[in-house]
A and B are shown apart, each in its own frame.
Chain A
């Protein structure tokens, strides 16, 4: 016995920025961005924070579950763009909700949500928990270099949450890491230690080798989907829905082709949201659940990939 996803929630900042808005200050165009990425708009934080979006998404999920914060046995948050270096986002969320369970953060970049599910699976397996809240919240615009058209057009902000309860919807899960920081990274602050050898202060912005990441993403996510489907006892083509990390529509199309998944099974929110790192999968899942298109007995796969390199995938028979 592992877990089922018993509720979902999400939150997006109010402000919507179009490609034409970006073309006002970057040498880019709606045509280039749409054909290369599928992105048309993204939600961008103005007065929202990583914590405020996380709390809003968490409350939406708890409402759907008809649970109160005191029912939670564990809170796991994932983010690479938290408001604080410390305390953890999970502790901030716990405080805001008024929960009293253990709370911890996981950083596995865009695969964070899958890593959180795998960690939660361990707590269920050890019989330590009945109800777990997982929240992925990101303000990618915080670490976006707004002078660099090659990356600035890709990212957005948002938060997604799920409540997990004892159950057997989860049929397979895998996570992986490759220890290759160079293709996608953002440095942390250097600090003012008088003993630090390098006195330069790095800019905490994302750097990316787009085509390297594209190759990694397509090959890893298609292989992971095949693996988790097989471990769940089905063929990829039998999946009813696939909810993948939303980094580029071209990655979703190429991955579907490579693993033999009908393209219409692929959930797409990137056109509206851009890449929100670990928040993409739970937000897309929340959309799918609330649209009424995900039915009991259907097969749904989740899969993420990102900086690190990290990756993760899971297969559910929805209940």
Chain B
């Protein structure tokens, strides 16, 4: 599974973005997620990928978020 697919699975598990087609350019705002929901999703991704993501990285789209995770995985 790609990083993007794993992130989508986490979003689905949290009932985020139901009925919306998720692409790398989808924003968290379009998914109806506020900053604290993004923190929660970040935490789930930290568990899923075994990484730590800074709270001040502030990604706005799923694509940016996936890039952030891939960069951490490559470190």
A residues within 8 Å of B by Cβ? 35-36, 209, 211-212, 214-215, 218-219, 248, 250, 254
Contacts and interface: CB of A to CB of B under 8 A. Distances in A.
B49 to A, nearest CB: 15
18 contacts: A35-B34, A36-B34, A209-B55, A211-B35, A211-B39, A211-B55, A214-B36, A214-B39, A215-B39, A215-B42, A215-B43, A215-B55, A218-B40, A219-B43, A248-B36, A250-B36, A254-B40, A254-B43
Q: Is the interface of B mostly helix, strand, loop or mixed?
A: helix
Nearest to B38: A211
Contacts of B42: 215
Interface string B32-56: 0011100110110000000000011
Interface of B: 34-36, 39-40, 42-43, 55-56
B55 A212 contact: yes
A248 B39 CA distance: 14
Contacts of A36: 34, 36
Contacts of B39: 211, 214-215
Contacts of A212: 55
A219 B39 CA distance: 12
A168 B9 CA distance: 45
Contacts of B36: 36, 211, 214, 248, 250
B47 to A, nearest CB: 9
A218 B43 contact: yes
A260 to B, nearest CB: 13
Given A219-B43, A254-B40, 6 more contacts: A36-B34, A211-B56, A214-B39, A215-B43, A248-B36, A250-B36
Contacts of A218: 40, 43
A35 B32 CA distance: 12
A35, A36, A215: most-surrounded residue (chain B CB, <10 A)? A215
A212 B43 CA distance: 11
A142 B25 CA distance: 45
